[in-house]
Structure 1
Amino acid sequence: MLAASGCATTANNPKDPFEGFNRAMFAVNEGLDVVVKPVAQGYDYVAPLPVKVLVGNFFGNLWDVWTALNNLLQGKGEQAVSDAGRVLVNSTIGIGGAFDVAAEMGLAKHSEDFGQTLGKWGVADGPYFYWPLIGPRTTRDTFGWMVDTFLFYDPVWRLDDIPLRNSLLATRYIHLRASLLPTDKVVEEAAFDKYNYIRDAYLQHRRSEILDGEVPHEVPEDQSLR
């Protein structure tokens, strides 16, 4: 998906009116990644695959709680029930989410966030931004990310034990960065302009997520989802 969606780059993209600021923040993140990437590579090299699967399952189980609520808000009741069932099964039989027992029972995993919910409700993308640390977001998805992280979903941020909270946050983000390592070479080889590539890939991917992978009917530009 990333490789296919990022091939075409567009100068002066109307969705990116603050490109100067965004490119500066992109450069900041590239500088930070000089430190973060080697740590992720070390984690990827040292941690056995079963450990990485357990870590991904644990944090994925936390996200399933929020996914269930967002599916409900989007009117997808069947998926919401399935996601709630996943949380119940994996939090108990799956030992706190470490094992994805629900998948073996036929409960498919979904991923929804509040930005997608807003998109389903018809909220437009708004201008594109590239933020320090959190990376690419539309204006709508920036607001959605804040709701996801600080208002509703993220129980890790709510932990009173600061050392434990920081350790879990670090583990999650290093695990996430490690999961993106395979795409690094693809981006470097495919992109004449890495910034444009990532922006265009992000915007197309988010559009696909909001539409649940469906191809929309052709409509005039001012009526299309954006």
Structure 2
Amino acid sequence: MKMKMRATLPALMLIAATLVSACAKPTSEQLSEGTIADPNEQRNRAVHEFNRGVDRFAFRPAAKGYVAIVPPDMVTSFGLFAENLSMPGQAVNSVLQGNFKQAGIALSRFAINTVFGIGGLGDPASDFNVPRVDTDFGETLHVWGVGEGSYVELPFFGPSTARDTTGLVVDFFTNPLGYAKNTPVDDIDIYAEVVRRLGDRGTYSDTVDSILYESADSYAQARLIYLQNRRFDLGQTSENSEIDPFELSTEGF
């Protein structure tokens, strides 16, 4: 079943090309002004309320229980494990972006942390001064000149854009580990990512709670934080445009 799903990659790439063809590319003036394209705001707000309900009654209590029971060092290790599993996929995206140096760094981190970090539970690569890598197919599309498109709030996943939604789907199928035979646990990368998200939700619970449940308009605040930080990460806005959610969460709308 898993291999059949992975075999759909060419079809997904075709679908991705179709989807991103409709993504508008903001001008530099629009980006500097923090322009937000949200033509489907009503639907997005409905999804946001659904996500808040899922978080309030399921994900939030599960995450708080997880970090209360599991020692902090183990929470960190499980997060590192998920990050390590993503390195081959990030190497692929780096190659697609034409950044072969970054691809080599990603593979080096994967090799070092897998061998010397107990399968990725540790991070000796950082001790060896091998920098962290953080990229995805959404960034690859950006490098290819695809605009971010309209803002989207995805069920369960939260804030995104048309471009990053396409990237999210493609990333699921482009990690080479997904094609490996004799994997101890099928889709272990998915399970590891869920555990990582639990750890992050539990660790930063106060900040997330302040955004989702204490701000005057949690939808607008989450949208602003996501878009500004994503644009900053992609080098589309100045250093001063990055938003610190720890600071913003104390402000109202």
Correspondence 1:162-181 to 2 at 5 A: 168=192, 170-181=194-205
Q: Distance in 2 between matches of 1:98 and 1:175?
A: 14
Give the letter for the 2:120 counterpart. Answer: G
Deviation at 1:128, TM superposition (A): 0.8
Gapped runs of 5+ residues in structure 2?
1-33, 241-253
Contact 2:85 2:189 survives alignment (8 Å): no
Deviation at 1:63, TM superposition (A): 1.4
Question: In the alignment, which residue of structure 2 is the partner of 1:65?
Answer: 88
Deviation at 1:104, TM superposition (A): 0.2
Q: Distance in 1 between matches of 2:189 and 2:102?
A: 30
Correspondence 1:32-51 to 2 at 5 A: 32-34=54-56, 35-51=58-74
Question: In the alignment, which residue of structure 2 is the partner of 1:211?
Answer: 235
Q: Where does structure 1 differ by over 3 angstroms across 4 or more consecutive aligned residues?
A: 154-170, 188-191, 212-216
Deviation at 1:80, TM superposition (A): 1.9
Deviation at 1:139, TM superposition (A): 0.4
Query: For 2:86, what is the secondary structure of its paired residue?
Result: helix
Deviation at 1:57, TM superposition (A): 1.1
* Segment drifting more, 85-94 vs 75-84: 75-84
Deviation at 1:155, TM superposition (A): 4.5
Give the letter for the 2:74 counterpart. Answer: V
Q: Distance in 1 between matches of 2:232 and 2:53?
A: 30
Give the letter for the 1:104 counterpart. Answer: D
CA root-mean-square deviation: 2.9
* Segment drifting more, 78-87 vs 95-104: 78-87
Q: Distance in 2 between matches of 1:187 and 1:157?
A: 38
Q: Distance in 2 between matches of 1:163 and 1:112?
A: 20
Specify which of 135, 151, 159 is matched with residue 128 of structure 1: 151
Question: In the alignment, which residue of structure 1 is the partner of 2:53?
Answer: 31
Gapped runs of 5+ residues in structure 1?
1-9, 217-226
Query: For 2:118, what is the secondary structure of its paired residue?
Result: coil
Change (3 A) 1:172 1:155: farther
- The superposition leaves residues 87-130 of structure 1 with CA deviations (integer Å, 9 ceiling, x where unpaired) of 11111111111110100000011210100111121100111111
Contact 2:92 2:175 survives alignment (8 Å): no
Change (3 A) 1:55 1:153: same
Deviation at 1:201, TM superposition (A): 0.9
Change (3 A) 1:126 1:160: farther
Give the letter for the 2:53 counterpart. Answer: G
* Segment drifting more, 71-80 vs 135-144: 71-80
Query: For 2:119, what is the secondary structure of its paired residue?
Result: coil
TM-score between the two structures when normalised by the length of structure 1: 0.79
Correspondence 1:13-162 to 2 at 5 A: 14-34=36-56, 35-149=58-172, 151-153=173-175, 155=177
Specify which of 172, 193, 196 is matched with residue 217 of structure 2: 193
- The superposition leaves residues 18-37 of structure 1 with CA deviations (integer Å, 9 ceiling, x where unpaired) of 00000000000011012110
